[in-house]
């Protein structure tokens, strides 16, 4: 980073490392680059008083337009949106039932079927969002396969809603397709709630029969930290009403509502083809850099859930002097720190995600890759990976 940029980088003032994010839209790294439209909207509304219900009412048609849902509202995150949508499916518009959650569920439907291959951890386990609302998790199928008859038999008169997760985190084969899942639930009058936190397709899941879909506002949309709940009006309203109950601890402020509205409108106008082109240039640069280095194999791979996003997969052979984990740790330790997508290092590879780069960073990453692989101090990074992260976490804040 040059000195002029450094002067304007708040991270230096706060004593934070100037990391480069080639990991993806990760909560632990600050999610995404918030688009200027959202930053401006947040700054504009920050000093003003507004009626929050009215502001949410203005957000609803924007969310409806982009998702094809009847209505929508903004929540603190996708994770909280899931909890509120589940709670809403349980209580509907019963204000007293809303206040009684999550432990007093007398008279409510509480069961929530979910395919076992969908019970993922995105930083927290998704089934916890069900339990947080007071729901009961009903696992369907096995880790590697689920069938329609299993879902059908999991549904009974206590079923409040069914949860479906679309994500690279889920098992990518053997699951019930959303269309079939939704048809089975519809026949039994059970609402389908889809966690599509990180998916670019804003309309497809409601179109396939989901009643509610939930996105993160701070992932590819480039909004502030938020979630977006969209879909059937009565269920959206029931989820919204949870702000008088379990949702209070997950509340969203005026700046987040205005910010994500602006991000959604910016998304409609974004130069998607131009962004893809810049991402491709970064991938091609890293590919040609790595092809010149023995001991590693690089290839461009598509996103597992068909988002219009490619990544570089870097397989690390022991001949390189590194394991995948120790190379990721070395990159994260150097100057500037480069944080890669390292959730599969035990399989001997990691990924570089180009979706969150500032101008000039692709070149810095290429330099760090070749510099690190050509250095010979791999042993320093032997204690890499998940255990090391837990150690740091459990001694926080020191
Ligand atoms: C990121 C993610 C979440 C959590 O989203 P937040 O908005 O950060 O709460 C939930 N589900 C999936 C599949 C995710 O990828």
pLDDT digits over 131-170, tens only? 999 999 999 999 999 999 999 999 999 999 999 999 999 9
Calculate how far, in angstroms, residue 9's C-alpha sits from the geometric centre of ligand 1: 27
Measure 167 CA to ligand 1 centroid, in angstroms: 9
Query: Fold for domain 36-269?
Result: 3.40.640
Alpha-carbon Rg for the chain, nearest whole angstrom, is: 22
> 42 φ, ψ to 5°?
-65, -40
- Burial code of 292-303, b = ≥16 C-beta within 10 A, e = fewer? eeeebbbeeeeb
Pocket test for ligand 1, best of 26, 27, 115, 197 (most atoms within 8 A of CB): 197
Give the CATH fold of the 3-30+271-394 domain. Answer: 3.90.1150
Tens digit of each residue's pLDDT (9 = 90 or more) over 54-108: 999 999 999 999 999 999 999 999 999 999 999 999 999 999 999 999 999 999 9
SS3 content of the chain, % helix, strand, coil (to 5): 45, 15, 35
The CA 76 to ligand 1 mean position distance, Å, reads 11
pLDDT digits (tens, 9 = 90+) for 249-258: 999 999 999 9
* Ligand 1: residue whose CA is nearest its atom 5: 78
pTM: 0.95
What three-state secondary structure class fits 159? strand
Map out the domains of the chain as residue ranges.
Answer: 3-30+271-394, 36-269
**Residue 128 exposed, middle or buried by CB count within 10 Å (0-12, 13-18, 19+):** middle
Distance 185 CA to ligand 1 centre (A): 23
Q: What is the pLDDT of residues 334-355, one digit of tens each?
A: 899 999 999 999 999 999 999 9
Decide if pLDDT at 5 tops 60: no
* Residue 126, pLDDT above cutoff 80: yes
Please check whether residue 37 is in contact with residue 223, taking contact to mean a CB–CB distance below 8 angstroms.
no
d(CA 277, CA 271): 10
The pLDDT, as a whole number, for residue 393 is 87
- Distance CA(29)–CA(44), nearest Å, equals 26
Q: Which residues have C-beta within 8 Å of that of residue 271, sequence separation ≥ 6?
A: none
Q: Alpha-carbon distance 196 to 206, whole Å?
A: 11
Which two tokens mark 95?
């204000």
What residues are in contact with ligand 1 under a 6 Å CB criterion? Answer: 27, 77-79, 122, 165, 167, 169, 195, 197-198, 216, 227
Q: How far is CA 120 from CA 102, 367, 369, in A?
A: 22, 35, 31
């Amino acid at each position: 980073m040059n000195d002029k940029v450094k002067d304007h980088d708040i991270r230096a003032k706060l004593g934070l490392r100037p990391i480069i994010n080639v990991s993806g839209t990760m909560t632990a790294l600050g999610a995404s680059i918030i688009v200027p439209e959202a930053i401006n909207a947040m700054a504009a509304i920050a000093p003003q008083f507004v009626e929050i219900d009215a502001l949410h009412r203005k957000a609803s048609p924007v969310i409806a337009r982009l998702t094809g849902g009847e209505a929508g509202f903004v929540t603190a995150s996708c994770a909280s949106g899931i909890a509120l949508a589940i709670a809403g499916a349980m209580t509907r518009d019963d204000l007293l039932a809303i206040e009684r959650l999550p432990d007093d569920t007398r008279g409510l439907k509480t069961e929530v079927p979910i395919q076992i291959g969908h019970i993922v951890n995105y930083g927290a386990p998704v089934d916890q969002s069900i339990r947080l609302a007071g729901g009961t998790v009903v696992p369907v199928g096995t880790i590697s396969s689920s069938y329609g008859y299993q879902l059908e038999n999991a549904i009974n008169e206590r079923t409040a809603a069914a949860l479906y997760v679309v994500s690279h985190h889920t098992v990518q084969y053997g699951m019930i397709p959303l269309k079939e899942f939704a048809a089975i639930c519809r026949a039994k009058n059970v609402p389908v709630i889809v966690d599509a936190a990180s998916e670019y397709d804003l309309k497809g899941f409601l179109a396939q029969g989901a009643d509610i879909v939930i996105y993160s506002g701070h992932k590819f949309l480039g909004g502030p930290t938020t979630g977006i709940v969209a879909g059937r009006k009565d269920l959206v309203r029931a989820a919204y009403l949870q702000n008088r109950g379990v949702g209070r601890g997950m509340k969203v402020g005026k700046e987040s509502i205005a910010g994500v509205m602006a991000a959604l409108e910016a998304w409609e106008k974004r130069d998607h083809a131009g962004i893809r082109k810049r991402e491709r240039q970064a991938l091609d640069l890293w590919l040609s850099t790595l092809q010149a280095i023995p001991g590693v194999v690089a290839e461009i791979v598509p996103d597992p859930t068909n988002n219009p996003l490619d990544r570089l997969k870097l397989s690390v052979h022991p001949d390189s002097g590194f394991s995948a984990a120790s190379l990721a740790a070395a990159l994260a330790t150097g100057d500037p720190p480069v944080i890669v997508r390292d959730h599969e290092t035990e399989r001997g590879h990691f990924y570089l995600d180009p979706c969150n780069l500032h101008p000039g960073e692709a070149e810095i990453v290429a330099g760090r890759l070749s510099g690190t692989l050509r250095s010979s101090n791999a042993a320093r990074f032997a204690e890499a990976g998940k255990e090391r992260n837990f150690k740091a976490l459990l001694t926080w804040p020191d």
